[in-house]
Chain A
Amino acid sequence: MSHDHSLNPKTMPEDPSKATMEGKHKFLGLWFFLGGETVLFACFFGTYLALRNSTAGGPTSQDLFGLDLVFLMTVLLLTSSLTSVYAIYHMKNNDFKKMMLWLGITALLGIGFLACEIYEFAHYIHDYGFTFRSSAFGSAFYTLVGFHGGHVIFGLSWLITLMVRNAKRGLNLYNAPKFNTFALYWHFIDVVWVFIFTVVYLMGMVS
């Protein structure tokens, strides 16, 4: 039995990320994990909703948030979601170079998002003195948004490790599932962000 899983147009299955048992397991496992992550973020959101007006005399959400930076961050992250779709598209067409290119763009957009977030936090801390310890609102805000940021950092490390490890190997049935699971995880980060910008920022500006 040959254990060489490298792909060429002749051996290319319809979806290389699900052609092996391991691939199927990874795919299911990650999805189920995301089901759990949904509850994890639900609890952070719930805590935030309960505490968002508990400012203890400190700055409120209306004092702090601005639309432009959040809009920029949203566009960055949404676009990175699209670029990872492109990467998987090229994976299915067995075009390794283009896949890596689009994954690279995804990483850059993710880093851009993270930079904005760091700038935002620094801005709140320096200009408003609004920290993790200022009020229950502060704790809940930084915990929710920070956990999302942590997920972005984890996703980026995952992506970069994958890209470095497989840079010279090309696509095969062993690493295709890994790229696919990363892409799913990355979309989920975007899902969470959609709710963060809606519930935290937009609703915080309104009420």
Chain B
Amino acid sequence: MTENTSTNKINSYQKEKNREEMRKQIITFALMIFFTMIAFFAVAMGISSMFVIPLILILAIVQVGFQFYYFMHMKDKGHEFPALLIFGGIWVTFLVGVTFVTIIWW
């Protein structure tokens, strides 16, 4: 906080970087809305469930990836531990999911 002379320069650089970042966020958002629409259309069209269910699940996973990596900045550095624990949670989620659709006895 002592480098008074260069503050303005850093700030404008920082601002530009933030703006660039924001542009990416908007693209992300547009893609998310697009994926959502595909999912809803696929269901509304009544395509066979063998095809639709994997499709909408994959779209959901991609969307969630966008949320985590872009909106929540998990792509940035300093997010190693958050990522580790989120992936741990996802792993448990996977186990729970598989369990509850296969071995609940009947």
B40 touches A89 (CB 8 A): no
Interface-central residue, B14, B18, B72, B85, by most chain A CB under 10 Å: B72
A-contact 0/1 string along B50-65, CB 8 Å cutoff: 0011001101100110
B81 touches A85 (CB 8 A): no
Bound CA span A74–B34, Å: 12
| Stretch of A116-124, A152-160, A188-196 lying at the B interface | A188-196
Known: A67-B40, A67-B44, A81-B67. A31 touches B85 (CB 8 A): yes
A49 touches B101 (CB 8 A): yes
Main secondary structure of the interface of B (DSSP, over half): helix
Give the total of A residues in contact with B, Cβ under 8 Å: 52
A21 at the interface (CB under 8 A from B): no
B86 touches A38 (CB 8 A): yes
How many A-B residue pairs lie within 8 Å, measured between CB atoms?
Answer: 137
The smallest beta-carbon distance between B44 and chain A, in angstroms, is 6
Bound CA span A86–B29, Å: 12
| List of B residues within 8 angstroms of A101 by Cβ | none
Taking beta carbons and an 8 Å cutoff, which residues of A are in contact with B? Answer: 9-12, 14, 18, 28, 31-32, 34-39, 41-43, 45-47, 49-50, 67, 70-71, 74-75, 78-79, 81-82, 85-86, 89, 92-93, 184, 187-188, 190-191, 194-195, 197-199, 202-203, 205-207
Taking beta carbons and an 8 Å cutoff, which residues of B are in contact with A? Answer: 1, 4, 7-8, 11, 14-15, 18, 21-22, 25-26, 29, 32-33, 36, 39-40, 43-44, 49, 52-53, 56-57, 59-60, 63-64, 67-68, 71-72, 78-79, 81-82, 85-86, 88-90, 92-93, 96-97, 99-101, 104
